[in-house]
Structure 1
Amino acid sequence: MTAPPARPERRGHEAASPAEVPPFKPSLVTTVFRDVTPMHVSRPAARAAASVTRTVLAEIVDGARRAAAEESRKRLVPADLLAAIGRDVELEVGAGWYAHSPTFRDRLGVPYDAGAGAAPSRERRRPRKPSAVAGAHRFEAGVRKLLRSRGVTAVPAMVRDLNGIASAFLTDLARDAAMVVREGGIQRFGAVALVTPGEPADAPFPKDALGAGSARRGDRRTIGRDDVLAATTIQLFGGGLRRRALAEAREAAPDRAGAR
């Protein structure tokens, strides 16, 4: 009997490509979108949104991992999250979570909601639809899977922060995608160039790479893949992270004959 051929060894970023590690399921994405809008979400749109969220969280985890490595640690703590964001302003996303996390309370000077994330009391009414904060726990399985794929673990407080950032970011992405559908496209958009002193600036970011033309295809009742890509250009500024997120989302949800 002939032995099966050995699989090639994968290293580094290749071992954690979007196609191999999809930590956030399209079904979770659809649930979040339904919390925000009654519009239908196409399957390519859900896959694209899941990919964008994964790319953003992977960049944050990698930044925190580098900060932890400087102290010879593989277990991430909230201070590593702050260090990652402090070193790369592009990673400052999901800001709706910041006011509910003690990790960001002192750094940003925002009031801390001590009740966030706690079990609701009998007197406290539950919201009709879960907010990004109340629904953050839904992201825990995906966050832990993502951490494993990057070769690190995290303390519970760090996991909660990553859950919250993912939930807030995806909620904002859903709102912007719905806005793109309602308005028939993005009316105004631009790019922010982040330049480090002493280093050459990146090449200009082409407008057609944004995937955000003045007009959109499709009806006004369905959020499609291109609407999610357009929303990504609103949520992510700068060139590097946005470019990677768009490229990986297109790979995860290819445009087959204009399918939405």
Structure 2
Amino acid sequence: MTAQPARPERSGGGTASVLDVVPFKPSLVKAVFRDVTPMHVSRSAVWAAASVTRTVLTEIIDGARRAAAEEARKKLNPGDLLSAIERNVELEVGDKWYDHSPTFRGLTGVLYDADGVIVPSRKRGRSRKPSAVVGAHRFEAGVKKLLRSQGATAAPAMVRDLDGIASVFLTDLARDAAMVVREGGVRRFGTVTPVTPGEPGPPPFLEEYPRVPSAHRVGGRTIGRDDVLAATTIQLFGGDLRQRALTEAREATRNTSAG
């Protein structure tokens, strides 16, 4: 029987903690790994990848909720997604999805009605179907579950974008985790981190998250939890979001079997 990850108890009333919600089924997460690599994937790696994706989506939804609240709206629409990303560059993830969503292309002249549906505009180019991205729509149920856990509702177009971002981000995460195994650790040739003038910059990569001690030699064929954590440091360049994702992934996999 597959071990379930431990989840921290949270006190207080209101909406359940997102850490108590596992929106993405392990079988779906594992299917993403199978799409990009023939390597074996441990259960702890699957749970870690699901946790990191949940953390990223939670932060995006939280930013979109704040944008909607400023306009006294409860229902989130793609405009709120754009606002969340514009306000926090750390949330600019899964960017391959942007080429397939009308939300992120031809923004001049794009309008949304009260239900978050894009109003046709001659200034927009022809949209590609979301199905153009492999795996799109597989995480729709998980996205809706995560929205409910935060007491949020979203227009269909917003759900579609969150689903697409989750799919692309997780695919990139799986691909980088496989690369970490093949190369025996994280190899970086330099990073670019945004810094606000007058504020201290984030700690260097090697101080914040040392070179990942992989249990695999170069040419290994099993992706473990630490490989996913290493891939997370590649995918998430922002200090706050990256550290939160790493912390929550470790917690989510604390009592999970590595097999």
Sort the TM-score into its range (normalised by shorter chain).
Answer: 0.7 to 0.9
Aligned equivalents of 1:50 and 1:8: distance in 2?
Answer: 20
Report the counterpart of residue 239 of structure 1 in structure 2.
Answer: 239
Residue from 106, 114, 120 that aligns with 2:127? 114
Aligned equivalents of 1:209 and 1:43: distance in 2?
Answer: 26
DSSP 3-state at the match of 2:103: helix
Superposed CA offset, 1:129-169 (max 9, x none): xx7x2412110000000001111100000000000000000
Please state how far the C-alpha of 1:26 moved relative to its aligned partner: 1.5
DSSP 3-state at the match of 1:93: coil
Aligned equivalents of 2:175 and 2:159: distance in 1?
Answer: 24
Unmatched 5+ stretches in structure 2: 1-8, 109-123
DSSP 3-state at the match of 1:114: coil
CA contact (8 A) 1:211 1:226 kept: no
Aligned equivalents of 1:32 and 1:234: distance in 2?
Answer: 18
Report the counterpart of residue 74 of structure 1 in structure 2.
Answer: 74
Matched, 1:207 2:206: yes
CA change 1:208–1:252 in 2 (3 A) is: farther
Report the counterpart of residue 89 of structure 2 in structure 1.
Answer: 89
Report the counterpart of residue 152 of structure 1 in structure 2.
Answer: 152
CA contact (8 A) 2:18 2:149 kept: no
Aligned equivalents of 1:105 and 1:97: distance in 2?
Answer: 11
CA contact (8 A) 2:76 2:158 kept: yes
Unmatched 5+ stretches in structure 1: 1-6, 119-130
CA contact (8 A) 2:44 2:256 kept: no
Please state how far the C-alpha of 1:186 moved relative to its aligned partner: 1.2
Aligned equivalents of 1:206 and 1:115: distance in 2?
Answer: 37
Report the counterpart of residue 177 of structure 1 in structure 2.
Answer: 177
What's the TM-score once normalised by structure 1's chain length?
A: 0.81
Superposed CA offset, 1:17-53 (max 9, x none): 42x1111121111011001111111000000000000
Aligned equivalents of 1:206 and 1:184: distance in 2?
Answer: 18
Count of matched residue pairs: 234
CA change 1:161–1:182 in 2 (3 A) is: same
CA contact (8 A) 1:192 1:238 kept: no
> What CA RMSD, in Å, does the superposition of the two structures yield over aligned residues?
2.6
Aligned equivalents of 1:8 and 1:235: distance in 2?
Answer: 28
Give 1:13-24 correspondences, 5 Å limit. Answer: 15-18=16-19, 20-24=20-24
What's the TM-score once normalised by structure 2's chain length?
A: 0.82
CA change 1:38–1:152 in 2 (3 A) is: same
Identity %: 66
Aligned equivalents of 2:231 and 2:248: distance in 1?
Answer: 15
Higher relative contact order (CA 8 A, sep 6+): 2
Please state how far the C-alpha of 1:107 moved relative to its aligned partner: 4.2
DSSP 3-state at the match of 1:170: helix
